[in-house]
Amino acid sequence: MIKQYEIKLPRFGRGFHLITGIIEKTLADLPEQGIVHLFLRHTSAALTINENADPDVPRDMQYAIDKLVPENDPGYIHTIEGPDDMPAHMKSSLLSVSLNIPITNGRMNLGTWQGVYLCEFRNHGGSRKLTATIYS
């Protein structure tokens, strides 16, 4: 059985934002067992799973990815949309736009410390949309 939902996220600033709560609230009626697939329909943001407890972790994640893929690299050609644009594309591919999470006993079966993050790589990315597909 397949169920699909379109989720419109609030507008987030550049950075890593915990959205586990938004996902759980939207997908309230989960089957006993299955998979949730989350797919972000954008090319300069990403979804990832990481530590959900200490806010320093998403802060440091942003620091680390910005350092890994620096802006204003003179090697870039695709620069017309601003210095944050091409690095955002690269970061989106590195972290990816899709996540699969198992459903067990009617809940997303994340580890104790795992949370779902929206990674916004643009300075002014606007509201992002994702498609959630549940199969069971």
List interacting residues with its own copies (CB under 8 A). Answer: 2, 4, 33-35, 37, 39-43, 48-51, 54, 56-57, 59-61, 63-65, 67-69, 73, 75-78, 86-87, 89-90, 92-102, 104, 109-114, 129, 131, 133, 135-136
Least distance in Å: CB of 49 to its own copies? Answer: 6
Q: Residue 44: phi, psi to the nearest 5?
A: -135, 30
Least distance in Å: CB of 109 to its own copies? Answer: 6
From 117, 119, 120, 129, select the one nearest 18 (Cα to Cα): 117
Considering the complex, state which of residue 26 and residue 50 has its C-beta at the smaller distance from its own copies.
Answer: 50
Considering the complex, state which of residue 9 and residue 97 has its C-beta at the smaller distance from its own copies.
Answer: 97
Least distance in Å: CB of 100 to its own copies? Answer: 5
Q: Helices in the chain by DSSP H: which ranges?
A: 20-26, 56-68, 85-95
Considering the complex, state which of residue 22 and residue 66 has its C-beta at the smaller distance from its own copies.
Answer: 66
- Helix%, strand%, coil% for the chain, nearest 5: 25, 35, 40
Least distance in Å: CB of 18 to its own copies? Answer: 13
Structure tokens at 81: 């949309």
Considering the complex, state which of residue 5 and residue 22 has its C-beta at the smaller distance from its own copies.
Answer: 5
Structure tokens at 12: 């987030």
How far is the C-alpha of 11 from the C-alpha of 60, rounded, in Å?
A: 21
